[in-house]
Structure 1
């Protein structure tokens, strides 16, 4: 395979993003991928030429790549977007595409898109001149976060502690006639000095780290002196990150999530997420994981037959599509018969899945709705090692602890010890599984309680 990385700067190691570009080249070499780093503004973009692919770089013809990874992020300008659209129309696979990069480069547009999908975000206002301080205080309160619409690595973000400080900033901006576009955000106190960067690749969480400020400030960015530690996101947080990536149509993204009193809120999304701190915290080869995903999905991308989403595949398999599910609801005006009809179909689908998995291949109809649906789900399976983030190891450990605890609880009785002593030893033994659950890094109890609190608040 042959690919390109679009990067707007010279490869000067002093530029913070350059070591990450080198990491991509290193991982590509190990995977046998020919990967070139090219600057967007050195292309000659001519529309209306004859043929499917006529492109020049530095005045010389350049061969069509199999894929392009854009690492321009928030610095993506109009020329780069135009170039990406040109590649897209010429059938080049883009990771990520121009439309979603343009959306994510604008922080307000990103939040508007997420809010429209019903995902939780901090309450946000667009800054206007003259600044109405009373409106800001009424809608957002103080402290308030002030951000530029475009920015990265924590730049262009500050906190005004009170009304007086905010008035000073507003007066400074107006006196300097700095009519810059900016947004104002409600300050999420529960997440002061910490957040979680969740890396999503191909619709899956492959790594996460909690970022913490070491100075007591509200910014937690590793690039600003914060520290990153490996983090196993609770299911609710992981699902929120995946939903954000799906809504924004990002193949690769870093979703920044804040801790809220009632759960979590999405702070930002990044189309070219930095990963140096993430690699140090988790030990994951991030470029290798990304390129492995590109390789594993390249055929489907070239055939322009993207794998269906899990929810769509399940709906097809169980109900014959979403129209089939709607037909069930149309035929059953009351909840109980509707629930029964859904349950029957789910049981039937479960039996079909067991048949697919246990019967000899010659007796299984691979083209049945169940067979097609299962294969759609199977082909979307993870292509990277997610052992550090899923619960399989924890579940296995819990089963071992539980089995040993039960045996230890029964043993005193079998040995004929005194009832009081046997009872105390049994209680102590059975406390170990409870201790495992309460101290689990996946946050089983915490995640469940936050979900219940959120549900009760709706």
Structure 2
């Protein structure tokens, strides 16, 4: 009997990038003779009194053998898990990956190398950080330093701050949002490595470089080339993905001093088009093969 699957996408974020990712996964699943559908999260009605997801106009769905989750609708992921459906990645992994603060806390707790990081104190709605507090941050991390909002994608909501006044202005603008401070890794200015982890293997890697921005993201104008990862980078990437219990993840490493690596970010929903084209590795095929093994 054919295995069946859903690919969950966000119905309010139907961009070419997200649809392309979903279609790559769908094509890989069809090659494995799976019956797989792309479903928008806002086409499902999550009735907690009825343990069966309904579609619009009372359309009923037959529950799939698995769900590939290309979204951050954690409540939907948990709902599907409560119905006994394997979700890749699972809701707790998506939740932790989406929150940079939670991610860094977990990495630090497991001894995985990260830049020197300080979590900003919570401000509920309005309020500012004192000059003394900000001066203490500068004293600990130096200038320039990096400020990251807890939630953000594609290198957005990440800022390079050059002096006290700029830091004060930025933190005032971030009132009510969770964020953190990090030391700036000058040895990795505009460059990093993306390693794709599937299960316990790094299956592809590329180096990204940007001469115009301190962030290496392709979205911000960076370019890419294949990267041959050494055992140290492979071990860190696998350990980072394992720390957040990810079935697959794009792990971004910074080039630290003295040939070291530092985890910059873990992406539980990393888009795979650029990496696939850069390396020639069909990452979607690898993901579906992994899922097929897991659900047998």
TM-score normalised by L of structure 2: 0.90
2:272 is equivalent to residue 272 of structure 1: no
1:147, 1:183 within 8 Å by CA — same for their partners in 2? Answer: yes
Q: Which one scores higher on RCO, CA 8 angstroms, separation ≥ 6?
A: 2
**What pairs up with 1:34-433 in 2 under 5 angstroms?**
34-49=35-50, 54-58=52-56, 59-72=58-71, 76=72, 80-128=73-121, 129-131=128-130, 132-161=133-162, 163=163, 166-171=164-169, 173-174=171-172, 178-215=175-212, 217-262=213-258, 263-299=260-296
Q: Which runs of 4+ in 1 moved over 6 A?
A: none
Quote the RMSD (CA, aligned, Å). 1.8
Shift in alpha-carbon separation, 1:11–1:193, aligned structure 2, 3 A: closer
Larger Rg: 1
d(CA) in 2 for partners of 1:206, 1:283: 11
**What pairs up with 1:17-36 in 2 under 5 angstroms?**
17-36=18-37
Q: Give the C-alpha shift of residue 177 in structure 1.
A: 7.5
Instruction: Note the residue ranges of structure 2 that are not aligned, 5 or more in a row.
Output: 122-127
TM-score normalised by L of structure 1: 0.59
Tell me the equivalent position of 2:125. none
Instruction: Note the residue ranges of structure 1 that are not aligned, 5 or more in a row.
Output: 300-458
1:173, 1:179 within 8 Å by CA — same for their partners in 2? Answer: no
Higher share in strand: 2
Q: Give the C-alpha shift of residue 10 in structure 1.
A: 5.6
Where 1:256 maps in the other structure, the secondary structure is strand
d(CA) in 1 for partners of 2:228, 2:17: 27
Q: Give the C-alpha shift of residue 140 in structure 1.
A: 0.8
Higher share in helix: 1
Tell me the equivalent position of 2:17. 16
Give per-residue Cα distances to partners, 1:185-226, cap 9 Å, x unaligned. 1001111111111100112111111111142x2111012211
Where 2:93 maps in the other structure, the secondary structure is helix
1:195, 1:257 within 8 Å by CA — same for their partners in 2? Answer: yes
1:11, 1:18 within 8 Å by CA — same for their partners in 2? Answer: no
1:133, 1:167 within 8 Å by CA — same for their partners in 2? Answer: no
